[in-house]
């Protein structure tokens, strides 16, 4: 496995239409290109314009899908579960309180191995009341068996949304996928986007086959999700077999995500690090870690630090669930100090969730690496190049001094 495919060789680029659009529209265009049979929608800030774009694409005949305007997120995902069990390719989007309301069927989707794709236009948790971006919603459900990938740019949102269907429906995976795009910064951020050709996307997607493993179909009747478990008979082993299968699907997805990104790069000429991106990590003594749209400002800060002679690099996580421990360990191989920047809070360990996950990977390294948790960008706050310089300086200090068990709150005095 390679830790970066940013410099992957690119074949002759197919001609692609160039447009200007926001991240939510890019996601909608990606959905249309992936040709789902069914989408279910319920509006919530900052996701709303995404489902509005989807509805308009269908109304204009640019997308052929059954759209269900459900009465809430709980029903949104429930309708899609039924559709998927009948053989439909399915899509929705939500965030924040909507994701919380959806949690009951959300938990079940991965257990039934339904390859539903759902964008999370990430939003901070309430309370305190807020309608702005932050990763708290997606982070809160990171332990529920969905594959979760985070995008950095509007173009990556479009491309990843299409790739997500192929990853989810891979027979070795068969799991739902969240494409996370930062509320405000990516949802409303407008940029130049190359629009792939439909025929090329069709060839990339291949033949749809979403309910070969579990179906509600009178032509092949089966009981879906009968009672299992308990302490006797076949109960315990049956339940364990299902759970182990989920875990195996999650681990398989690491390989499939890499393969799908590689094929995408070959077909469309745009490559992204599928799991973990190393940015200027060659000969780096220490590193900072980022997730999502903050990474752009982080890379600018790294460039300036490098210009100033500092031996620092940046590690960006794209695939957060499953956590790509093996690949991350390669990135961390020569690192002697680490600063991890989270856009959400881990209440149990008084740190950022990604920081906490990374500590687990560091343990496997077998040597002590001082690390510091930074929390910034909550509830729509910006994480600027200036903030990242503070992160770089504090991480550099770990090379010669002690690490704190307290997180650094980047926007505390903004």
Partner 1 sequence: MGAYNTIAFDAAKCDGCGDCMSACANTKVGADDALKEAPLGGTARSRIQIGGTAETGYELALCRQCGDPKCVTVCPAGALGKDLSNGVIGWDAAKCVDCLLCTVGCAYAGIALDEATGRVAKCDMCEGNPSCVKACPHDALKLVTTSRIYNEVGGWEDLFAPGLAGCQGCNTELLMRHTLRRVGPDTVLATPPGCVPGMGSVGFNGTTGTKVPVFHPLLTNTAPMLAGVKRHYKRIGREVTALAIAGDGGASDVGFQSLSGAAERNEQILFMVVDNEGYMNTGMQRSSCTPYGAWTSTTPVGQGAGGVHSQGKTQDAKNLPLIMVNHRCEYVATASTACMEDLYDKLDKAIEASRRGFAYLHVYSPCTTGWRFPTDQNMEVARKAVDTTFVMLWEYTRADGLHFTRPVDDPLPVTEYLKAMGRFRHLSDDQISHIQSKVVENLGFVKQLAHGAKA
- Binding site residues, partner 1, CB under 8 A: 37-38, 40, 66, 68-72, 74-75, 78-88, 104-105, 108, 215-218, 220-230, 233-235, 238
Rounded Cα gap, residues 312 and 302, in angstroms: 7
> Strands 319-321 and 147-150: what pairing?
antiparallel
Closest contact distance (angstroms) between CB of 228 and partner 1 is 5
Closest contact distance (angstroms) between CB of 211 and partner 1 is 9
**Closer Cβ to partner 1, 221 or 366, answer by number:** 221
**Closer Cβ to partner 1, 229 or 401, answer by number:** 229
Rounded Cα gap, residues 44 and 123, in angstroms: 10
* Helices marked H in 269-384: 295-307, 325-331, 353-365
**Closer Cβ to partner 1, 85 or 381, answer by number:** 85
**For residues 100 and 137, is the Cβ–Cβ distance under 8 A?**
yes
Main-chain phi, psi angles of 111, to 5 degrees: -65, -35
SS3 309: coil
Closest contact distance (angstroms) between CB of 253 and partner 1 is 24
Closest contact distance (angstroms) between CB of 23 and partner 1 is 27
Closest contact distance (angstroms) between CB of 170 and partner 1 is 21
**For residues 16 and 87, is the Cβ–Cβ distance under 8 A?**
no
**Closer Cβ to partner 1, 82 or 269, answer by number:** 82
Rounded Cα gap, residues 93 and 102, in angstroms: 11
Contacts of residue 234, defined as CB under 8 A and 6 or more positions apart, other chains included, come to none
Closest contact distance (angstroms) between CB of 362 and partner 1 is 39
Rounded Cα gap, residues 248 and 252, in angstroms: 6
**Closer Cβ to partner 1, 195 or 214, answer by number:** 214
Rounded Cα gap, residues 18 and 365, in angstroms: 44
**Closer Cβ to partner 1, 240 or 247, answer by number:** 240
């Amino acid at each position: 496995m390679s830790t970066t495919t940013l410099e992957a060789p690119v074949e002759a680029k197919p001609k692609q239409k160039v447009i200007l659009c926001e991240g939510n529209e890019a996601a909608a265009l990606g959905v249309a290109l992936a040709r789902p049979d069914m989408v279910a929608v319920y509006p919530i800030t900052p996701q709303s314009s995404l489902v509005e774009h989807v509805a308009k694409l269908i109304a204009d005949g640019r997308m052929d899908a059954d759209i269900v305007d459900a009465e809430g997120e709980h029903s949104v995902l429930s309708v899609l579960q039924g559709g998927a069990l009948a053989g439909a390719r399915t899509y929705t989007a939500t965030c924040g309180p909507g994701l919380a309301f959806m949690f009951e069927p959300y938990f079940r989707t991965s257990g039934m191995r339904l390859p539903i794709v759902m964008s999370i236009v990430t939003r901070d948790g309430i309370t305190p009341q807020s309608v702005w971006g932050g990763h708290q919603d997606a982070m809160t459900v990171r332990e529920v068996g969905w594959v979760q990938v985070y995008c950095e740019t509007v173009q990556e949102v479009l491309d990843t949304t299409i790739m997500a269907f192929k990853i989810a429906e891979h027979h070795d995976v068969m799991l739902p996928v969240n494409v996370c795009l930062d509320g405000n910064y990516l949802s409303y951020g407008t940029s130049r986007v190359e629009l792939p050709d439909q025929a090329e996307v069709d060839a990339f997607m291949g033949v749809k086959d979403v309910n070969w493993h579990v179906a509600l179909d009178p032509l092949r009747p089966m009981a879906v999700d009968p009672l299992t478990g308990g302490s006797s008979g076949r109960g315990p082993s049956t339940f364990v077999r299902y759970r182990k299968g989920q875990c195996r699907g999650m681990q398989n997805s690491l390989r499939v995500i890499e393969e799908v990104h590689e094929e995408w790069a070959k077909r469309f000429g745009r490559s992204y690090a599928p799991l973990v991106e190393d940015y200027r990590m060659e000969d780096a003594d220490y590193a900072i870690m980022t997730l999502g749209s903050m990474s752009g400002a982080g890379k600018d800060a790294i460039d300036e630090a490098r210009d100033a002679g500092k031996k620092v690099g940046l590690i960006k996580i794209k695939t957060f669930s499953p956590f790509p421990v093996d690949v991350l360990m390669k990135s961390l191989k020569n690192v002697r100090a680490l600063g991890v920047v989270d856009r959400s809070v881990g209440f149990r360990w008084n740190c950022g969730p990604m920081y906490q996950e990374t500590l687990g990977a560091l343990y496997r390294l077998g040597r002590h690496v001082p690390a510091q948790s930074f929390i910034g960008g909550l509830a729509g706050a910006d994480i600027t190049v200036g903030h990242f310089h503070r992160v770089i300086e504090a991480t550099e200090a770990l090379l010669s001094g002690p690490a704190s068990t307290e997180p650094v709150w980047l926007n505390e005095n903004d």
